[in-house]
Structure 1
Amino acid sequence: MGNERSAFRAGNPFCALVLVSKWKGRLSKVGASVSSWCSGTFQMTGKCVGQRPRVAEGRAEARSTGWHFPRSVSLFFPVFPYRSRHLDEEFQDIEIIAKGSLGPILKARQRMDEKIYAVKVMLKVEVIRQGILQQCKDGVVIQKNVVHPFVQGLLECWQTSHLLLIKCDYQGAGDLHRLWVESKPLPESRMRVFAAELGSIIGFLHDSGIIHRDVKMENVLLNERGHIMLTDFGLSRRLQYGERALTICGTMQYMAPEVLRGSPYNHSADWWSLGVLLYTLVAGKYPVDPEVDHTLMLSKLERTRVDPPPVVSQSLGFLLSELLCEEPQRRLHRLDVFSEHRFFRGLSFDPELLQQLPIEAPDPGHLPPPALYLADFDWEALRDEGLPQAG
């Protein structure tokens, strides 16, 4: 824990800020995240992993790592097995449906079983440059091992020469942020179901010794019946009750005060993020608008009095106040207390029963076209990997 490095995710849902000057300008209008620079990891590689090594160089790297592969491949073992096949050899009907900070997210039909999957694509060179190699591995291992009705299923991971790929269950109704943009503010009755489902999975993760650290609308997918699927465990880590984390990470406007301060924190930080999410759904705006770094964000948060929106019911107002309590020890941070709150009176937290509740599913045809936020993406590194080019 003492060796954890600072990392943070910033601002605008479609606005990624990364710590690499080449990508900072290109991604500043689109994405999601900023993570720590881990120079030691980059120095270990000896060169940019996006470059193809000379034969002699590759052999020397293979001997030094103990794998019969160049280091640009070996670094990602064993979580990401190597495959030489291009994407278009494994999948057909490939579409770009979203934009991550390290590459596109695809909808693709697998040739072998004819089923549709979501495939997250990450550029290996960016994983190394941003110092998130171990974080990337840990995140997919955690997500793959979490089995819950409200978690997006992670099916397999692999790598090619330049890319990391993660295949997940496909959810065709977009994410909660897109729904919010289309429909904000959401009615309390609809938000109440989302709140119960999110509280259910956050409590499950914490009881399993996992803190998510990036609970936000963009990481909540919706299935065809309108119910939630939590995804993107890239910042999650194992954290048992009584332990503390130190890394400054998350998405700026969702980060708890103790995280912004750089103080030791625990699972309570996820419940603050949930409070921000629920407040935003019903108010149509964030309780505190994002800033460009965590210092400015903390200063702004300390100057702002976060009161429940005047339009909500008294019971919801109390719930938001308890979640958005600046003192972690006094903050609502346990599922048993959350589920018994009077805002949820008469609502079962059993996942199967929650999934049976009627809820309006979003119309995928009304979602913003990917071209709106993929226009500035740099496709040069993906040209030889069988991905469709933006157009």
Structure 2
Amino acid sequence: MGNTSPRPPALNQDSVDGVYTQRREDSCQNLSTSSSGRSFASVNSHQSTFSVSRPWSRVSRRRWKESTLTLPYESSKTAWPVSQIESFFLPEFPFRSEGKHFTNLGEINKGAFGKVYKVSDEKGTLYALKVLSKSKIIRENAVQQVKDEVRIQRVCGHHPFIVDCPFHWQSKKRLFIVSNYVAGGELYDLLKTYTVLPVALVKLYVAQLALALDFLHNAGVIYRDLKPENILLDASLNVQLIDFGLSKWLPYGKTTRTICGTFLYMAPEVWTGEEYGHGVDWWSLGVIACVMLTGKYPSAEPDSGQFSTVLPQVGLDGPARDLLQRLLQVKSAQRLRTLRALKNIAFYKGYSFDDVKDRQVNPKELLPEIPEKLGDDFEGFDESFVTQL
């Protein structure tokens, strides 16, 4: 009875224990003390005909309890027919799509574990459907990462500048994650078109992203991959934060030291292997603000044995330069890393963050006509920062 397939070769004991810890705790609470033979993972299931007509022997019952409750690789060997590769992704990914049916309207993107499609439901509502390969996720030891991604997006998706994730489920070989469709494209495409954005629009976008980061940090989430490719624009060109694949549950004030992210936007303390906290997201925001204001990336030069940030030599007024210098402090303790501190700098003097949160400012009204020369300068960015630090 149950699955007897071999163990996945790429999983180590630690990762499997991490996947099954919560299931073992939940199963211990749901397990009936009777000898009915019901599945410990589903208290609403009925007795099988076999268990009623021929009760298990005392020895068989003892072996079943010992194998399913103490050995993580044996947890799928129960009266409930769930295969091992399916149980890896429970309870975050159920076995149904909640009665929803989607029509595929074409592929729109590719990722490390699968593809993203534009789909519509029965009412014509558009969504982005991410289809992930279970085998690739297991091979890369990323089971917990994918489960955290969908939980974080589901919990935080009600924020006005974060894309919601209304549906997610699994099949035998794939995971399905449905997010709201954002029609305006990536911030990266807007930067390629305009090279440099108007200061008023930069002020709006930095404020919107800061509100989203503040919300995530207060919810105990560190984002860790803030970049223009992960910032979509809706029909009104307001920002929408997507892709929580590298996000992590991290209580505010705590630290971690996993090296991850995109090199150009990665804070110095991340890729040097030091412990870091939520301040790394504010560094990434500073890099994005620098690109929006100047069309170039920041660089660095040695200063008294240490490195300090050097901004592009372009025309920046005092408040804009002050914003970048505060966000791009190499030493995290000296970096601007709270929404309250951002509101009090000269760049945002007299600015209403309440109007930003309520979407009272229209980004389209802040954009000039598309210039004849497109973003050549942005495409030829300066990589000296990541090569020198």
TM-score (norm 1): 0.69
Quote the residue 1:129 is aligned against: 139
User: Relative to 1, partners in 2 of residues 1:190 and 1:65: Cα closer, same or farther, differing over 3 Å?
Assistant: farther
Quote the residue 1:55 is aligned against: none
3-state SS, counterpart of residue 130 of structure 2? strand
Q: Is the 8 A contact 1:156 1:168 kept in 2?
A: yes
Q: In 2, distance between residues paired with 1:251 and 1:213?
A: 9
3-state SS, counterpart of residue 253 of structure 2? coil
After superposition, what is the alpha-carbon deviation per residue over 1:124-151, rounded to whole angstroms, capped at 9, x for unaligned? 1221122111011012101111121111
* Aligned ranges 1:242-257 → 2 under 5 Å: 242-257=253-268
1:101 corresponds to which of 112, 123, 126: 112
Quote the residue 2:175 is aligned against: 164
Quote the residue 2:345 is aligned against: 341
Quote the residue 2:274 is aligned against: 263
After superposition, what is the alpha-carbon deviation per residue over 1:38-83, rounded to whole angstroms, capped at 9, x for unaligned? 75179969xxxxxxxxxxxxxx977447852222222111111124
1:82 corresponds to which of 95, 106, 111: 95
For structure 1, the residue ranges without an aligned partner over 5 or more in a row are 1-36, 46-59, 290-301, 364-391
Q: In 2, distance between residues paired with 1:306 and 1:345?
A: 25
The letter of the residue matching 2:110 is: K
Q: In 2, distance between residues paired with 1:243 and 1:92?
A: 43
Q: In 2, distance between residues paired with 1:223 and 1:351?
A: 17
Quote the residue 2:12 is aligned against: 40
User: Relative to 1, partners in 2 of residues 1:252 and 1:202: Cα closer, same or farther, differing over 3 Å?
Assistant: same
User: Relative to 1, partners in 2 of residues 1:162 and 1:358: Cα closer, same or farther, differing over 3 Å?
Assistant: same
CA-CA distance at 1:227 after TM superposition: 0.4
User: Relative to 1, partners in 2 of residues 1:343 and 1:309: Cα closer, same or farther, differing over 3 Å?
Assistant: farther
User: Relative to 1, partners in 2 of residues 1:127 and 1:188: Cα closer, same or farther, differing over 3 Å?
Assistant: same
For structure 2, the residue ranges without an aligned partner over 5 or more in a row are 1-8, 18-72, 301-305, 370-389
Q: Is the 8 A contact 1:109 1:117 kept in 2?
A: yes
CA-CA distance at 1:348 after TM superposition: 1.1
Residue 203 (structure 1) aligned with residue 217 (structure 2)? no
Q: In 2, distance between residues paired with 1:337 and 1:288?
A: 24
* Aligned ranges 1:16-55 → 2 under 5 Å: 39-40=11-12
Between 323-332 and 304-313, report the one with greater CA deviation: 304-313
After superposition, what is the alpha-carbon deviation per residue over 1:18-41, rounded to whole angstroms, capped at 9, x for unaligned? xxxxxxxxxxxxxxxxxxx97517
Residue 324 (structure 1) aligned with residue 296 (structure 2)? no
Quote the residue 1:118 is aligned against: 128
Quote the residue 2:155 is aligned against: 145
Q: Is the 8 A contact 1:272 1:324 kept in 2?
A: yes
User: Relative to 1, partners in 2 of residues 1:131 and 1:309: Cα closer, same or farther, differing over 3 Å?
Assistant: farther
Quote the residue 1:10 is aligned against: none
User: Relative to 1, partners in 2 of residues 1:95 and 1:217: Cα closer, same or farther, differing over 3 Å?
Assistant: same
3-state SS, counterpart of residue 79 of structure 1? coil
CA-CA distance at 1:117 after TM superposition: 0.9
3-state SS, counterpart of residue 333 of structure 2? coil
CA-CA distance at 1:285 after TM superposition: 2.7
1:360 corresponds to which of 353, 358, 364: 364
CA-CA distance at 1:359 after TM superposition: 1.3
CA-CA distance at 1:210 after TM superposition: 1.5
Between 145-154 and 63-72, report the one with greater CA deviation: 63-72
Q: Is the 8 A contact 1:149 1:351 kept in 2?
A: no
3-state SS, counterpart of residue 12 of structure 2? helix
The letter of the residue matching 1:186 is: L
Q: In 1, distance between residues paired with 2:97 and 2:185?
A: 31
User: Relative to 1, partners in 2 of residues 1:117 and 1:309: Cα closer, same or farther, differing over 3 Å?
Assistant: farther
Percent of matched pairs sharing the same residue: 36
Q: Is the 8 A contact 2:128 2:179 kept in 1?
A: yes
The letter of the residue matching 2:202 is: M
User: Relative to 1, partners in 2 of residues 1:305 and 1:333: Cα closer, same or farther, differing over 3 Å?
Assistant: closer
Q: Is the 8 A contact 1:200 1:351 kept in 2?
A: no
Aligned residue pairs: how many? 298
CA-CA distance at 1:211 after TM superposition: 1.1
Q: Which has the higher contact order (CA 8 A, sep 6+)?
A: 1
Quote the residue 2:227 is aligned against: 216
Quote the residue 1:231 is aligned against: 242
3-state SS, counterpart of residue 154 of structure 1? coil
TM-score (norm 2): 0.70
The letter of the residue matching 1:357 is: V
1:311 corresponds to which of 293, 315, 337: 315
Q: In 2, distance between residues paired with 1:39 and 1:351?
A: 49
Q: In 2, distance between residues paired with 1:79 and 1:306?
A: 44
User: Relative to 1, partners in 2 of residues 1:251 and 1:67: Cα closer, same or farther, differing over 3 Å?
Assistant: farther
Residue 68 (structure 1) aligned with residue 40 (structure 2)? no
